[in-house]
Chain A
Amino acid sequence: MLCQECNQRDATVHFTKIINQEKTEYHLCDACARDTGDFMMKGNAGGFSFHNLLSGLLGFEQTGMPGFGAPGQQGQASAPVRCETCGLGYQQFVQVGRFGCADCYKHFSGKLEPMLRRIHGGATTHTGKFPRRTGGVIKLRQQLARLRQDMQEKISLEQFEEAAVIRDRIREMEGQIEQGGM
């Protein structure tokens, strides 16, 4: 069969479009099909987009496939999770692979970490740029969290003098953050 567009090359792409119950058949060659473009699946090679892959990853976590999910959780119906700000359900997120608003990250936080680890090669914490206007305070708060950890460590090692030094540093930084308006 020849391509119905150019009538020159063999038709290798065959598809049927149904719009409002009206059926149209197409028989095109490779080149014309590429040029026509409107039947092409969007995204990556062969229409197998990253989002298929992503919802696949998220999906089996939901259904509790044996060997995945945490032990004891399998088969349990989990309570529906929904973002309180925008109303997006976790299931919807899994289907479309997109968050509905910035707060989704907060409301889905329990499910987020394993997913981020899988996507980003094990990482779950941002180490790059900070917004300039608000970034100074954020950086201080990150340092603060690290210092608190250090202090706990010192206490558990019964190195109380060092812990006290860190405590004073923490108080100083807390003061700075308050002055920063946060």
Chain B
Amino acid sequence: MAVQDFLHDASRWMREDGPHSDIVISTRIRIARNLSDLPFPILMNDSQAEEITRRVADAVFSPEFQEKSGGSYEIIPLMNVPHVDRQALVEKYLISSSLVEHARRSAVALRDDEAVSIMINEEDHLRLQVLMPGLQLGAAWELATTIDDLLEAKLNYAFDEKYGYLTACPTNVGTGIRASVMLHLPALVVTQQINRVLSALGQVGLVVRGVHGEGTDAVGNLFQLSNQITLGQSEEEIIQSLESVARKIIEHEQQARQFLMEENREVIEDRIARSFGILAYARRLDSRESMQRLSDVRLGIDLGVIKGVSQNILKELMVMTQPAFMQKYSGTELAPGERDWRRADLVRERLRMDQGHI
């Protein structure tokens, strides 16, 4: 597969920009729902799992859903998807690895632009996900709640007056909502302010983790900020507090970037230029190094140091340099050692598509 083909198939969140795209990579809203009359996934048998898929399919293919859900949908049982393609869906953030673990009985309803995916028989009967580029919590929630209503018109949800939407795990009960934004925060990391900024978050019921890597050691300076609490606050309150904290962090990152350009311009330009050079010419790149260099290059694009390269290169390559996409790119299964060589080929090919210069 050529890089061109991949970009042609890329999801909307990867192809398009959104508000604050210089710092916010993507917005995701996920809501958990269950049907009232069937056991939750840990206790259900295969025929009950099929029954759930069938009911969701009926709801999704109903005329009203088709008309109002903003696109056309396909229901894909994971059994019918080759292993490498399942993994590729995970790498594009369209499904969770937990859905793949239960591939024997799970399915996904996917909107054609891949902005909406409805996971069936994951940890809960339904996990509805909306994924958008940039900071778009309000719009993503609007879409998620619309689709939720359309589904609920046909499905009987497990709902309790006191506890709200009942979920398999008590950490999701109530609204069932997990709203998150993926943030690229290289300047806060370089200026060593990141821990100070992040440690304040726990107090407001939010949680942050590195997207790649562990804990706050975020490879590629990518952080996922999401709500922890799902009960006792309305969806709007949850989204608003996430949005206002995200905006604060954006502000801090912008200040840190400005500080770098004013006080440490040469040092940061050198770092960006080195990373650009390595990505453009290296013959072998491990995943950690490629993410770190891509982060530098992306910062270089945002600061105007690197010209002629698309902003989207970070999200594209973040996905494309994962194992399943590497395998699709090479057309053959790769040993981890080989992967580093192919990864460098892929990154060079993508960089050559743009006429980048410093």
Contacts and interface: CB of A to CB of B under 8 A. Distances in A.
Nearest to A135: B159
A86 B233 contact: no
Contacts of A37: 323
Contacts of A99: 40, 166-170
Nearest to A129: B235
B323 A35 contact: yes
A7 B175 contact: no
Interface stretch (A66-74, A120-128, A154-162, A165-173): A120-128
Interface residues of A, number: 53
Contacts, number: 152
Contact of A46 (B34, B177, B214): B214
B205 interface: yes
B163 A45 contact: no
Contact of B39 (A101, A116, A126, A129): A101
A7 B36 CA distance: 54
B40 A5 contact: no
Contacts of A112: 163, 170
Nearest to A88: B43
Contacts of A119: 170-171, 229, 231
A35 B97 contact: no
Contacts of A86: 39-40, 43
Contact of B234 (A3, A120, A124, A127): A127
A122 B161 contact: no
Contacts of A54: 170-171
Interface residues of B, number: 55
Q: Which of A54, A87, A102, A134 has the most CB of B within 10 A?
A: A102
Contacts of B205: 121
Contact of B163 (A87, A122, A126): A126
A127 B162 CA distance: 8
Given A35-B323, A45-B209, A98 B169 contact: yes
User: Which of A8, A54, A120, A130 is packed against the most chain B CB atoms within 10 Å?
Assistant: A120
Interface of A: 3, 5-8, 28, 30-32, 34-37, 42, 44-46, 50-51, 54, 86-88, 96-102, 105, 112, 115-116, 119-134, 138, 141-142
Interface of B: 34, 36, 38-40, 42-43, 97-98, 123, 145, 148-149, 152-153, 157-171, 173-175, 177, 205, 209, 214-215, 229-235, 238, 286-288, 323, 335-337, 339-340
